[in-house]
Amino acid sequence: MKSWPSPFIPAVPGTGLPVHVYDTASAAVRQLRPGPTARMYVCGITPYDATHIGHAATYVTFDLLGRALRDAGHEVLYVQNVTDVDEPLLQRAARDGVSWQALAEDEIALFREDMTALAVIAPDHYIGAVEGVPSVVKAVTDLLSEGTAYRVELPEGEGISGAGDVYFDLSSATDFGSVSRWDRDQMMAVYAERGGDPERAGKRDELDPLLWRAARTGEPSWPGGDLGDGRPGWHIECTTIALDYLGMTFDVQGGGTDLVFPHHEMSAVQACGITGAAPFALAYVHQAMVGLDGEKMSKSKGNLVFVSTLRRSGVDPMAIRLAVLAHHYRTPWQWTDQVLEQAQQRLATWRAGLSGNGGPPAGSTIERIRECLANDLDAPGALDAVDEWVLQSLQGPASLASTQAGDGFELGAPGLVGRALDALLGVRL
């Protein structure tokens, strides 16, 4: 699937530090130790609605991580999926009386524009669930033949395929629970609301995840060979795309905290079932949720703030990016008018501070930005470092015959800081 044009990343003198991030599976901040190429998978959107601020926070956070890894000398192989066929998409299309394909196409196009506006580096492989169907069919067929998956008959009169749905047998997975570290009660508390079907009759364990949904009347389906016609379950889509494009035991699996369970847990156990190896990913990194005016931002509450709406109202996308970066990715935060105003103010101040030929020496500020990013993506700390440089820059040198020597200002410093902001923080002034 077509992604979007990546922004140009300017060179910055020096090299970034080894990157540390909080790994949900080990509940600790850990140093990433990629080879020459860091492999990162971030779960993409289900394209039934526009990109909201919570999405923006997720993709900006992993963009920041990708930039920190590049700065530390790694290539980054970045894969993202699009869940371009799934229950929420089909339901929204039916509600609105449009085809699910047209709805997905429109929302994916809008997402691409939002990502470009936010200066998010495009994934190397941007893969739709529909494109991934053949890999899912192969994986599920293998799991069935190995006995780690099983069929569940369709309720009478529901299906048009006689082969039944296919579920993963969690009793075959020794490491189930190793991503979220949740106990069964915690899992059961959210499973149904996060796309699970604990009440489905015929499952061996109510938590067993759906691998293949047999064709139903009025639903899209694809040829499944021995599985019969149908479509992939949500988790297996990411399992197989990640295995196809990154291979087992890649460096970072990313997404919002609402994906910790069941999505990342199930994606991982299924991958272990398919490959017989472990772990699926070396680090699981999660972006905290973003609320709106004191409430959780959610589609069910209808209180979503869309990036495209803000852009259309004239908000500079760099202000949106700065608003996101002003909050650490592991701390839940609220989107308010004040948050946006502060980001707009900061952007204007930075532009003023970076507009001269000379400024305070750039080296130590760039060093601080790098230290902050390497330390569990401390974007707010990096912003503080820039604020301080800008403040000194605006205060000006000791004399107006400046930018030569002896007054603490350096010619070209604003250009250097500007390049660092662009390359490391993705903020273009």
Task: Give the binding site for Zn ion (CB under 5 A).
Answer: 43, 238
Minimum CB distance to Zn ion, residue 395 (Å)? 48
User: Bridge partners of 30?
Assistant: 21
Residue number, 86 or 422, with CB nearest to Zn ion: 86
User: Rounded CA gap, 32 and 28, in Å?
Assistant: 12
Residue number, 58 or 148, with CB nearest to Zn ion: 58
One-letter amino acid at 391 equals: L
Minimum CB distance to Zn ion, residue 79 (Å)? 10
User: Rounded CA gap, 241 and 136, in Å?
Assistant: 9
Residue number, 43 or 211, with CB nearest to Zn ion: 43
End-to-end, the C-alpha distance of the chain in Å comes to: 30
Residue number, 150 or 234, with CB nearest to Zn ion: 234
Helices (H), 10-77: 53-71
What tokens does 32 get?
A: 């990433």
Minimum CB distance to Zn ion, residue 94 (Å)? 24
Minimum CB distance to Zn ion, residue 172 (Å)? 21
Local structure of residue 259 (DSSP, 8 states): G
Minimum CB distance to Zn ion, residue 263 (Å)? 5
Minimum CB distance to Zn ion, residue 22 (Å)? 19
Residue number, 238 or 260, with CB nearest to Zn ion: 238
User: Rounded CA gap, 84 and 241, in Å?
Assistant: 13
The full DSSP string for 89-134 is: HHHHHHHHTS-HHHHHHHHHHHHHHHHHHTTPPPPSEEEETTTTHH
Cα dist from 355 to 276, 365, 383, whole Å: 57, 17, 18
Query: Angle between the 363-374 and 413-420 helix axes, to the nearest 10 degrees?
Result: 10
Residue number, 264 or 370, with CB nearest to Zn ion: 264
Residue number, 232 or 359, with CB nearest to Zn ion: 232
**Alpha-carbon Rg for the chain in angstroms:** 23
User: Rounded CA gap, 104 and 49, in Å?
Assistant: 9
Minimum CB distance to Zn ion, residue 242 (Å)? 8
